Chains A and B, each alone.
Chain A
Amino acid sequence: METLMIVLSGVLVTAGTYLLLSKSILKMIIGTSVLSHAAHILIMALGGLKTGGEPLIGSPEDAYVDALPQALILTSIVIGFAVTAIFLVVAYKAYQATGLDRTDKLKGGES
């Protein structure tokens, strides 16, 4: 199962890198989101997928699954959400100022 997840993560990295390298800023933003989810899946797989019961006090199993990777991923999702929001705002502002969504036409920026 871990191998499968890591392959999935690799596929997401491929897609994310492709999107990140495109010239449209919106596609770049989608690419960064895809990339961050690839990282989340990787952390989940590296921390070990379900190896025991729920990490709750009083649950019947002896072995608990490690809850830390989930906590990390949750924090990281929130941060990714904030960063994506800011990136979208900046892209929209740049679109308003220049009327462009293309990185190749935005180059330089000397005023």
Chain B
Amino acid sequence: MSNLIILPMLIPLLGGILLVFIRRYVVLQRFISMGALVATTGICIHLLARIQEQGILRLDFGGWEPPFGILFVADSFAMLLATTASFVAAVCLLFAFSSVDRRLEQLYLYPFVLFLVAGVNGSFLTGDLFNLFVCFEVLLIASYVLLYIAGGKRQLVASIKYIALNIVSSWFFLIAIGFLYGSAGTLNLAHLSERIAETGQTPLFTAVSFIFLIVFSLKAGLLLYFWLPASYSAPPPAIAALFGALLTKVGVYALFRFFTLLFYHEPQVTHQLIGILAVLTMVGGSLGAIAYTDIRKVISYNVIIAIGFLLTGLAVFSETALQGAIYYLIHDMVAKALLFMIGGLMVITAGTARMDKMSGLIGNYPFLGVAFFITMLSLAGIPPFSGFLGKVLIGEGAIEGQSYLILAAAFLSSIMVLYSLLRVFLSCFWGETIIGRGEQLVLKNGWILPCLILLAATLGLGLGAETIAVHVKTAAEVLMNPQIYIDAVLSP
């Protein structure tokens, strides 16, 4: 029992509610929202250390012992993701301070960012199926508002599609919960795992697992990603960075949790299907990433490639591959936020999103060029940046598991990431400068600072991987041995 576990969800939630009442005081809003996210990150790091000492922590709400009540479970996997999510959200907020216009700041932008973080952290930490649904809805409703908040035609059209699609996927979620409750009679994830293990995952449970696969694939963009590029390229850069870093990752987290804790008895059916979907996702994402000239679209398709790559780790389903996937998940949150920020800055400074109309930006903005280049190296998995270790471990796991097709697809996709971003780099940064000295914008400190923090983070995660190695190891161990999770939750 540890009451601290509720705080990663509670602090952003209460902070957001408080901000609603001080809508007109923008500076105060900034201080409170930043304070809330920094405090959340700090608490997450503290909890991470506690989990290492005391094992998996849990909090039974209202003293109802599992499996009867709702509870939060903090294992290393959930906590690592919650830490990264809170940290990245704080940096995105810092970016928003100087890149979003004042009208939006008074339109409840910050409260909804905090509600989004509350939903994301809640989804990571909850140990109850229906609570997971509720947390998903909290983060989705916040994301609906953030998507259309700028209020242009482009945002409105994108959000109508996004909302309609997510309502349908939430509906599937509800149906799947109904079936699972009807057949297993419980909603506690650990208890469900036990019950499913007792029956040896009958075909009924496998069928239900496919419904969950559809639901989370829609949320994560695993093959069902057709909605993603339009929605992620519409909002202002700070919000797009937040979406690109956090939203799909919650779906990926749910897939990892469900297919390691609940439905792990028939890997030749479920995990093989996930492998096929992952390969198709990487192919589709790569095609999209090299097909478009709108750099926001190129960046959005890069999100999709990363989702496919992450899911190969789950498809291989060995401890090494899962470790790699966890490293890569953390890396991808940081690097994608960075990529969206730099892409957004390129669009702001060049005044267009089409890369055939941009040229020679490095002459005007050397910082952007260098930052983009480093991000590209990091995403392609070149040491010493953070993407390297995840890719190596997933590759190692795939070789151990003799999944050579997946291995080939995963590493070809890395080359496609490099190619698509190199194309952006060559056409936007090299060549003749088209922006004259007179019309050149000055890069604000508030734009550069968040990029610098994330660049430092991606370098730090690459060089200092040993500091999180112990947590990643525990996380992968728990994922591979569901009994540890079950014991921690169901023990009195």
Query: What residues make up the interface of A, taking CB atoms closer than 8 Å to B?
Result: 20, 25, 28, 32, 35-36, 39-40, 42-43, 46-47, 68-69, 72, 75-76, 79, 82-83, 86-87, 90-91, 93-94, 97-98, 103, 106-111
User: How many residues of B are in contact with the other chain, CB < 8 A?
Assistant: 34
Shortest CB distance B174–A (Å): 4
Min CB distance A26 to B, Å, is 12
B139-159, CB under 8 A of A: which get 1 and which 0? 011001100100111101111
The interface bits of chain B over 27-51 (1 if a CB of A lies within 8 angstroms of the residue's CB, else 0) are 0000000000000000000000000
In the complex, the answer to whether A93 meets B156 with C-beta atoms within 8 Å is: yes
Complex: A40 Cα to B177 Cα, angstroms: 11
How does the 8 Å CB contact mask read for B443-459 relative to A, with 1 for contact and 0 for none? 00000000000000000
Cβ contacts under 8 Å, B170 to chain A: 83
The reply to whether the CB of B179 lies closer than 8 angstroms to some CB of chain A is: yes
Contact A32 B167 (CB under 8 A): yes
User: Given known contacts A42-B175, A47-B181, A111-B152, is B157 in contact with A106 (CB within 8 Å)?
Assistant: yes
Q: Which residues of B are found within 8 Å of A107, using beta-carbon distances?
A: 157
Q: How far is the CA of A98 from the CA of B170 in the complex (A)?
A: 28
Assess the A68–B187 pair: CB atoms within 8 A. yes
With known contacts A39-B174, A94-B157, A111-B153, A46–B163 Cβ distance under 8 A: no
A11 CA / B230 CA spacing, docked (Å) = 33
Residue of B nearest to A98 (CB): B153
| A93 neighbours in B (Cβ, 8 Å) | 148, 151, 156
B160 sits at the interface (CB 8 A): yes
- Which B residues lie at the A interface, using CB under 8 A? 130, 133-134, 137, 140-141, 144-145, 148, 151-154, 156-160, 163-164, 167-168, 170-171, 174-175, 177-179, 181-182, 187, 230, 234
* Residues of chain B within 8 A of A25, CB atoms compared: 160
Whether the pair B141, A82 counts as a contact (CB closer than 8 A) is: yes
Q: With contacts A46-B181, A93-B156 known, is A87 near B151, CB below 8 A?
A: no
11 intermolecular pairs with C-beta atoms under 8 Å apart: A39-B174, A43-B182, A46-B178, A69-B181, A76-B174, A79-B137, A83-B167, A87-B164, A93-B151, A107-B157, A109-B230
The contact of A106 among B160, B167, B234, by CB within 8 Å, is: B160
A110-B175 in contact (CB<8A): no
B325–chain A nearest beta-carbon distance, Å: 30
Q: How far is the CA of A87 from the CA of B163 in the complex (A)?
A: 7
In the bound complex, residues from chain A placing their C-beta under 8 Å from that of B151 are 93, 97
Looking across the interface, which residue of chain B has its beta carbon closest to that of A86? Answer: B144
Distance of B164 from chain A, by nearest CB (Å): 6
B156 close to A97 (CB less than 8 A): yes
Query: What 12 new A-B contacts, CB under 8 Å, besides A39-B175, A86-B145?
Result: A32-B168, A35-B167, A35-B171, A36-B167, A40-B174, A43-B182, A47-B181, A83-B170, A94-B156, A94-B157, A109-B156, A111-B152
For the residues of B in contact with A, the DSSP-based class is helix
Q: A42-B175, A93-B151, A93-B156 are in contact. Are A87 and B167 (CB under 8 A)?
A: yes
Are B160 and A43 within 8 A (Cβ)? Answer: no
Instruction: Name the one of A46, A87, A108 contacting B182, with C-beta atoms under 8 angstroms.
Output: A46
Q: Which residues from chain A contact B156 at a C-beta distance below 8 Å?
A: 90, 93-94, 97-98, 109
Q: Which residues of A contact B134 (CB under 8 A)?
A: 75, 79
Shortest CB–CB separation between residue B331 and chain A, in angstroms?
Answer: 32
- Shortest Cβ distance from A17 into B: residue: B168
Contact A43 B177 (CB under 8 A): yes
Hey, which chain B residues are within 8 Å of A39, CB to CB? 171, 174-175, 178
- Closest A residue to B158 by beta carbon equals A109
Chain B residues within an 8 Å CB radius of A72? 130, 177, 181
The answer to whether B145 and A43 touch across the interface, beta carbons within 8 angstroms, is no
Q: Which residues of A contact B137 (CB under 8 A)?
A: 79, 82-83
Distance in Å: Cβ of A40 to nearest Cβ of chain B: 8
Smallest beta-carbon distance B288→chain A, Å: 16
Q: Please, which residues of chain B bring their CB within 8 A of the CB of A76?
A: 133, 174
Q: Are B181 and A108 in contact (CB under 8 A)?
A: no
- Contacts A32-B164, A90-B160, A93-B156 hold; do A43 and B181 have CB atoms under 8 A apart? yes
Complex contacts, B181 vs chain A, CB 8 Å: 43, 46-47, 68-69, 72
Task: Tell which of A47, A79, A82, A107 has the most Cβ of chain B within 10 Å.
Answer: A79
CB-defined contacts of A83 to chain B, threshold 8 Å:
137, 140-141, 144, 163, 167, 170
Nearest CB to that of B179 among chain A residues? A46
CB-CB under 8 A for A36 and B171, given A43-B178, A75-B134, A93-B156? yes
* Central interface residue in B137, B145, B153, B157, by most chain A CB within 10 Å: B157
Please name all residues of chain B whose beta carbon is closer than 8 Å to the beta carbon of A40 when the two chains form the complex: 174
Closest 3 CB pairs of A and B: A46-B182, A109-B157, A43-B178
CB-CB under 8 A from B187, the residues of chain A are 68
Give chain B nearest CB distance to A16 CB in angstroms. 9
* Given A72-B130, A111-B153: A94 in contact with B160 (beta carbons within 8 A): yes
Q: Note all chain B residues with C-beta closer than 8 A to A97.
A: 151-153, 156
Shortest C-beta distance, A15 to chain B (Å), equals 14
A35: chain B residues at CB < 8 Å are 167-168, 171
